[in-house]
Amino acid sequence: MKITNIKVIVTCPDRNFVTVKIETDAGIYGIGDATLNGRELSVASYLKDHVAPCLIGKEAGRIEDIWQYLYRGCYWRRGAVTMTAIAAIDTALWDIKAKAANMPLYELLGGKSRDGVMVYGHANGRDISETTDEVAKYLDLGYKAIRAQTGIPGLSSTYGVSKDKMYYEPADGDLPTENIWSTSKYINHIPKLFDHLRDKFGFDIHLLHDAHHRLTPQEAAKVGKSLEPYNLFWLEDTVPAENQEAFRMIRQHTTTPLAVGEVFNSIWDCKKLIEEGLIDYIRSTVVHAGGISHLKKIFEFASLHHVRSGSHGATDLSPVCMGAALHLDTAIYNFGVQEYMRHTEKTDAVFPHAYTFKDGYLYPGDTPGHGVDIDEKLAAKYPYERAYLPVNRLEDGSMFNW
């Protein structure tokens, strides 16, 4: 089965998505997500101008060989743009292989290790009381795991708090909006949120929190310690993780479980974190970490070191990524949790999918392939709209991590 055509589809049904569609001479096609929030067109060009011409006429079933051809063959290894482009091709090729075998993708990945995939939703509010109401809404929907974020007194905006509740979209301007951050205000306030939530809802639900790369190792250790009484499922992205060593200091000071990895794009970003047991959950996902082939290697490596998966699943990861991730989540041994931020109705209409939500779990469905498609006619109605993630400054005006 030969590759005959590769389409790169850019569409904006409420937010931008880049999708690859690989067609074959057998009439079977596969699709892959190639969305890199705020930098979408660079991946679209990488795929259209540099990847597609090399793959026409190649054997669609040679997934590992094509992966290595794109990774080693370009000479310039890794990086978010390259690895997102490779991920999209890899996902589409797995979709084709599973459709050709007439099997849901999880069967090709080793079969089911579990019946359903536990997901967590995002409860966010301007203050503790609004966040508490949002947690209650997620509980009513059946969620077993909920991420809680709240506004910080004295800061006009904070990561993770938005006016859209179910469909939180951080890429909010056609130029980057500017946020202001104060670590000391955050550190004082955040234990109060979890104290209140445990008081109100007890300890039978899983609570998670994302610090979004804003702390130093010492501050992260302090936050981890201050949250220990509230038994979090995880504390995410405490420090920027270019320096994997930094996690050792956090680890030595707190038993709060640590999660990281949504901006990682290869196993080399997390090798030390995993093999030295410095984290509990690795959060990389299909679209940004080289596709099914590479993410499976990361998760299998993690399984040797008692590290579990917790894939990123914000709205900027398209339903195609979500579908593919659910098949991998279903098949791997060391699954932890899957993030699930719902897409809008418009997005769901452009990407018809087989996955379903019930009582806090997502199910990938049994459709051959990864079970997600794209309605190209509908997609064409929503042209690209430039949108950036915000930037962040300290109160004195210095640039900081968003």
Ligand X SMILES: O=C(O)C(=O)C[C@H](O)[C@H](O)CO
Query: Could you give the residue numbers annotated as active site?
Result: 159, 212
Q: Which one, 261 or 369, has the nearer CB to ligand X?
A: 261
Instruction: State yes or no: residue 210 binds Mg ion (CB under 5 A).
Output: yes
Contact segment (CB under 6 A) with ligand X among 44-52, 61-69, 130-138, 308-316 equals: 308-316
Can you tell me the distance from the alpha carbon of 169 to that of 164, in angstroms, rounded to the nearest whole number?
7
Q: Which one, 212 or 370, has the nearer CB to Mg ion?
A: 212
Residue 5 sits at φ, ψ, to 5 deg, of -155, 145
Q: How far is the CB of 64 from ligand X (least distance, A)?
A: 28
Sheet holding 399-400, edge to edge: 178-181, 391-394, 399-400
**Binding residue (CB under 6 A) for ligand X from 15, 212, 251, 327:** 212
Instruction: State yes or no: residue 339 binds Mg ion (CB under 5 A).
Output: no
- Nearest residue to 243 via CA among 209, 213, 212, 286: 213
Q: Which one, 189 or 213, has the nearer CB to ligand X?
A: 213
DSSP 8-state secondary structure symbol assigned to residue 230: G
β-strands 258-260, 281-282: how paired?
parallel
Residues from 142 through 171 that contact ligand X (CB under 6 A): 170
**Binding residue (CB under 6 A) for ligand X from 134, 280, 339, 373:** 339
**Partner in contact with 170, chosen from ligand X, Mg ion, none, beta carbon below 5 to 8 Å by kind:** ligand X
Can you tell me the distance from the alpha carbon of 118 to that of 361, in angstroms, rounded to the nearest whole number?
4
**Binding residue (CB under 6 A) for ligand X from 37, 82, 256, 265:** 37
Can you tell me the distance from the alpha carbon of 365 to that of 345, in angstroms, rounded to the nearest whole number?
19
**Binding residue (CB under 6 A) for ligand X from 210, 219, 269, 280:** 210
> Which neighbouring-strand residues pair with 120?
145, 339
Instruction: State yes or no: residue 373 binds Mg ion (CB under 5 A).
Output: no
Q: Which one, 262 or 280, has the nearer CB to Mg ion?
A: 262
Site string for Mg ion, 241-270 (x = CB under 5 A): ---------------------x--------
Instruction: State yes or no: residue 316 binds ligand X (CB under 6 A).
Output: yes
Contact segment (CB under 6 A) with ligand X among 102-110, 195-203, 311-319, 327-335 equals: 311-319
Q: How many other C-beta atoms are found inside a 10 Å radius of the C-beta of residue 355?
A: 20
Question: How far apart, in Å, are the Cα atoms of 23 and each of 29, 121, 186, 189?
Answer: 4, 35, 50, 53
Question: How far apart, in Å, are the Cα atoms of 204 and each of 144, 272, 340?
Answer: 8, 33, 20
Residues that bind ligand X (CB under 6 A): 37, 170, 210, 212, 262, 312, 314, 316, 339, 389
